[in-house]
Chains A and B, each alone.
Chain A
Amino acid sequence: MSDWIHRIIAPSAIIISAGAIPCYATTYLTVGQAQKICFTNATQFIAADVTLTSEQRKAITKDSGVRVRLDTQKVWRVQNGDKFIGWFIQDEVLGKHEYIQWVLALNADGSVRQIEILDYRETYGYQVRDEKWRAQFYGKQHGAKLKLDDDIKNISGATLSSRHIADGVKRLLSFYELVLKK
């Protein structure tokens, strides 16, 4: 009967790779693909990036309770012919362990239409905040990392909280109210 439970003791003995696998990344959608998915009826996406002044950043932080980290926000006005049908906003959040590119699609009235994750990069440990440490993975985006991608993509074990995205939504809705809408 005890065969039903495999007790795996001292996992260091059976770790598959030689060392830790410090990083894995997944690209789900390109910006262009996400645009098509969020607005199937769109005919045009007009780039309308916004550079935030420090006053605007402070105002958004105050309104949303979430710190504004970047001073440029990538934004597209979405059109169906002559008709304005919504906003498409690209953003990134840096969580505790993960680095996420995502988009928020808003309807013309500013309500949330859709959220899609574009790219998800997960790193662990104290090194996460170390830019130099993180930089070593950027260079590998086109070569070695892709191979890792294929091999290590399905992970079970940690439930990663999506709270950082929820915070990002709050921040971008304040951005819409205080900056885009005007």
Chain B
Amino acid sequence: MLRLGLRPHLRSEPKIRRCRPLLGTFVEITASGNAWHRLGLNPALDLPSRCSAFHEAVDAAFAAMKKIQNMMSAHDPASELSLLNREAAHRIVTVSRETYEVLRRADRMAVESKGAFDYTVAPTLARWGLLPATLQCENAGNWRDVLLLRRRQVRFLRPLTLDLGGIAKGFAVDQAIEVLREHGVASAMVNAGGDLRVFGAQSSRIHLRHPSQPQQFAHRIELAQAALATSSPCFTEKNLHGQRVSHLVDSIRQTAVTGVISVSVRAQECWLADALTKVVLNAPQLAQKMLAKYGAEAFVLTA
């Protein structure tokens, strides 16, 4: 009889979608599900009240992403990353738990990919006008010169500048998913301009945009309890003094990744999917090994 009493609520389960400008793009969060019991709500509450609990959860998820942006933006002089870029070549700098976590993962990806994923390409991007000019650096070191010490301490062995753009957005998506879960949301999707992750019982249908004709969808993927990240030079590619440049650096050849190509990676977590797209672009052979190791999968779209 109790079950019967709950029926109306099962029919009208709350679902909300919100969007805010964050991390330089539009972040969309969809939260749904009938998780009133986990939200600690009275099942007799009406739909608007339960929706408002969902809005609180989504607000908290946005706040977690904003926190990551404030700590790890290479554009923001007040970020922890900017502090590292200014000072870690001269002294030991202690960073937050989150920044240290991202640095450790970035380092792991750089080591395993032998530099195909490289988070020390900021000087090159700055030279191309895609990051602030202050990040330019003469005779810059590389990822091998980043020391991650105990107690969240960081030191650069040579002058260099970091850009976590290839991994921090994915990490922010993971953090948001974690917050939504903690708030008792039953299923959710966080989409940060193509770096996205879903959790919950149902699978979601994701459309991959075609790299040369963004108004067309080239492929469809069903995603459940997983993340998908896409990297493509098509939307940032430009001419610079007769040279083609983009926001993606081929770290092995020190040139820009250009042309009609788009790489999407499906992985368990979004930071991993995000980082692996760069490995697939820069070192396809090695990428196969890494994809296998992490149970990930790549979708490469070309003209």
| A residues lining the B interface (CB < 8 Å) | 1-2, 4-9, 11, 14-17, 20-22, 26, 28-29, 36-37, 97, 115-117, 120, 123-125, 151-152, 154-163, 165-166
Interface centre among A1, A37, A159 (most CB of B within 10 A): A159
Cβ contact within 8 Å between B17 and A157: no
| B residues lining the A interface (CB < 8 Å) | 17-22, 24-26, 28, 52, 55, 59, 189, 191, 193-196, 204-211, 213-220, 228-230, 232, 234-235, 262, 264, 280, 284, 287-288, 291-292, 297-303
Cβ contact within 8 Å between B218 and A15: yes
Complex: A165 Cα to B298 Cα, angstroms: 32
Complex: A11 Cα to B207 Cα, angstroms: 13
Given A2-B288, A152-B217, does the pair A160, B55 have CB atoms closer than 8 Å?
Answer: no
Cβ contact within 8 Å between A158 and B216: no
Cβ contact within 8 Å between A155 and B206: yes
Nearest CB of chain A from residue B134's CB, rounded to whole Å: 19
Closest 3 CB pairs of A and B: A157-B209, A162-B21, A124-B215
Nearest CB of chain A from residue B238's CB, rounded to whole Å: 13
Cβ contact within 8 Å between A156 and B196: yes
Complex: A30 Cα to B220 Cα, angstroms: 30
Given A1-B292, A7-B300, A157-B264, does the pair A21, B215 have CB atoms closer than 8 Å?
Answer: yes
Cβ contact within 8 Å between B209 and A155: yes
Nearest CB of chain B from residue A175's CB, rounded to whole Å: 18
Chain B residues with CB under 8 A of A16: 217, 220
Cβ contact within 8 Å between A28 and B215: no
Cβ contact within 8 Å between A156 and B264: yes
Cβ contact within 8 Å between A20 and B213: yes
Cβ contact within 8 Å between B194 and A157: yes
Given A7-B302, A152-B207, A155-B206, does the pair A160, B25 have CB atoms closer than 8 Å?
Answer: yes
Cβ contact within 8 Å between B20 and A6: no
Nearest CB of chain A from residue B9's CB, rounded to whole Å: 21
